[in-house]
Amino acid sequence: MFDPTIYENLKVVFEGAVYDLDLDGHIVVTHRSDLIDLATMSRTYAVRYRLKDGRCTAEVRLSAGLVDLAGEKLEWRNALPGCKLEIVFALTLRNPEAACRNIDDIMRQVWDANPSIVQTLSYRYGEDGACCRNEIVVAFDRKIGEGQIDDIAELLEHTVRTLRLLEPYNTEE
């Protein structure tokens, strides 16, 4: 009998919860990927969405590597299998210096001090840099497992709240 892994169980719960928000009209799912990297024997699931009338995006990324799979399936004594979780927000900014300070305050207000929050700015060569893309990665410092399944709905509520707060900063046409 097939026994699903921690990664597979979390992926199914995340996917169901995100698509429930889509069906309820709170968000629109814009992209989904479910990848297996045969070179590293790692798996990554990502689902990207935005508010119904929004342009900022949030992407939930769940990943697990070979050590997590082997430790779980082979029941290694000292194994701590689980999944890495990241949430990536993306938007286009004008006046990034001021906007990024405000965005940092927003992110810390919503997400507290638990995850690390990193903003990365980019723009096209030849443009003046006044308008740039901001990618905000919210990374959790520990693996998650099936014990956190009940927290998924609240985590997704945080992403929707964050999208609402970031939307006024988005200048993408």
Residue partners of 45: CB distance under 8 A and separation at least 6 = 7, 11, 14, 15, 33, 34, 35, 61, 62, 63
pTM (2 d.p.): 0.93
Distance CA 11, CA 29 (A): 15
d(CA 123, CA 134): 9
Burial class of residue 38, CB neighbours in 10 A (0-12, 13-18, 19+): exposed
Task: Give the Cα separation of 37 and 102 in Å (integer).
Answer: 37
The mean pLDDT of 14-18, rounded to a whole number, is: 97
Query: How do residues 72-109 score in pLDDT, each as one tens digit?
Result: 777 778 878 899 999 999 999 988 888 999 999 999 99
Domain boundaries defined on the chain: 6-169
The separation between the first and the last C-alpha atoms of the chain, rounded to the nearest angstrom, is 51
Work out the mean pLDDT of the chain and round it to a whole number: 91
